[in-house]
Amino acid sequence: MAILVTGGAGFIGSNFIQDWFANCNEPVINLDALTYAGNPNNLNTLPAHAAHTFVHGNIADRELVGELLTRHTIRAVIHFAAESHVDRSIHGPEEFIQTNIVGTFRLLESVRAHWNTLEPAAKTAFRFLHVSTDEVYGSLAPTDPAFSETNRYEPNSPYSASKAASDHLVRAYHHTYGLPVLTTNCSNNYGPYHFPEKLIPLVIHNALAGKPLPIYGDGQQIRDWLYVRDHCGAIRRVLDAGQLGQVYNIGGWNEMANIDVVKILCAALDKESPRADGKSYATQITFVKDRAGHDRRYAMDARKIERELGWKPAETFTSGIAKTVRWYLDNAAWVQQVTSGEYRKWIATNYS
């Protein structure tokens, strides 16, 4: 028996696979299309015992997915694969519709066909865990309560709309076909292997390269940050003990304005890798044009997963940021490799 991880060469997927083998030996089949965000080198540091099989392919390929499910006796699918960057979804939504909606639909169809062939015990034990985001719930006003699992869906970007659609498909496959699904909606992650198009790794990368640190609009937008390995632990917990058909919100209880996140990063870098001229990296902060339709505030009410499954984050923002900054300083070669070619084109497009 094995689990099938989709998007396991991306940021969270690769952290999940590392976390998996730090906790058990069950084989992982990792299906990833290796888009610009996928990097097989993220898995170079897996321990020798890791039964990890990488498959280069698309979640929408029904023949391939069907074959993988049968050949490897898959008992659970953990679905990370997606287009994940809001700014890219604003510049070009098509890929988001294809992967996040059509891709998830095709994956669900492949899984449903496989699940229908299983013996009753295997059918009961099977799980499809869909990894989603807090962004499906829309934007909060400053004094609104945090998002709960029953919050109305109000997605505002093509990215969040495509994730919302995928959440609805997953829900429908449970309701209509009885597919044993679980959905997790998580807040903003940060940590090692985070592609430097997202705020935290972009700021670390630009700071060290002596480039401007771009803050959209007034920098007062709030996100709820969670260290990526905490997210991975939550997913394992939901896989083990989550109730079928249920949704679990995952968050860090750590709301921060973007400008404050960037100042904390600058202070950490000032300490760990001071600039040659002795000035703070904060002098590189540059306010730029705001993102179109920019959501003002996200915050997760993660009490359900704590109450029902006993999960809560282990890292504080201080400890998580310290680990993250250290990782980027120690892994300059990784950053160098992922910031060549296509990456440069994206930076030129988004910040022109």
Question: Hey, which residues are catalytic here?
Answer: 134-135, 159
Answer yes or no: are the C-beta atoms of 13 and 6 closer than 8 Å.
yes
Greatest alpha-carbon pair distance for the chain in Å reads 68
Helix (H, G, I), strand (E, B) or coil at 87: helix
- Site size for ligand TYD (CB under 6 A): 12
When asked if residue 99 is in the footprint of ligand NAD (CB under 6 A), the reply is: yes
When asked if residue 191 is in the footprint of ligand NAD (CB under 6 A), the reply is: no
Selection from ligand NAD, ligand TYD, none that 139 binds (CB < 5 to 8 A by kind) is none
Question: Which CB sits closer to ligand NAD, 59 or 76?
Answer: 59
Q: Which stretch binds ligand NAD (CB under 6 A): 8-16, 70-78, 118-126, 202-210?
A: 8-16
| Chosen residue from 30, 39, 42, 188 binding ligand TYD by CB under 6 A | 188
- Angstrom distance (rounded) from CA 271 to CA 14: 29
When asked if residue 86 is in the footprint of ligand TYD (CB under 6 A), the reply is: yes
**DSSP-H helix ranges across 254-341:** 258-272, 303-309, 317-330, 332-338
- Helix, strand, coil % over all residues of the chain, rounded to 5: 45, 15, 35
Q: Which stretch binds ligand TYD (CB under 6 A): 44-52, 175-183, 214-222, 308-316?
A: 214-222
Helical pair 104-116 and 158-177, crossing angle rounded to 10 deg: 20
The two tokens of residue 317 are 């923002």
Selection from ligand TYD, ligand NAD, none that 81 binds (CB < 5 to 8 A by kind) is ligand NAD
Q: Which stretch binds ligand NAD (CB under 6 A): 65-73, 108-116, 138-146, 188-196?
A: 188-196
- Angstrom distance (rounded) from CA 74 to CA 122: 10
The two tokens of residue 116 are 């229908």
| Chosen residue from 151, 185, 221, 284 binding ligand TYD by CB under 6 A | 221
| Chosen residue from 188, 206, 258, 324 binding ligand NAD by CB under 6 A | 188
When asked if residue 35 is in the footprint of ligand TYD (CB under 6 A), the reply is: no
- Angstrom distance (rounded) from CA 137 to CA 155: 6
Query: DSSP string covering 64-83, please?
Result: HHHHHHHHTTEEEEEE--S-
Question: Which CB sits closer to ligand TYD, 153 or 216?
Answer: 216
User: In angstroms, what is the minimal distance from the CB of 223 to ligand TYD?
Assistant: 5
Question: Where is 152: in which H helix or E strand?
Answer: none
The contact set with ligand NAD (CB under 6 A) reads: 6-7, 9-13, 31-35, 37-38, 58-60, 80-82, 84, 99, 103, 131-133, 163, 186, 188-189, 195
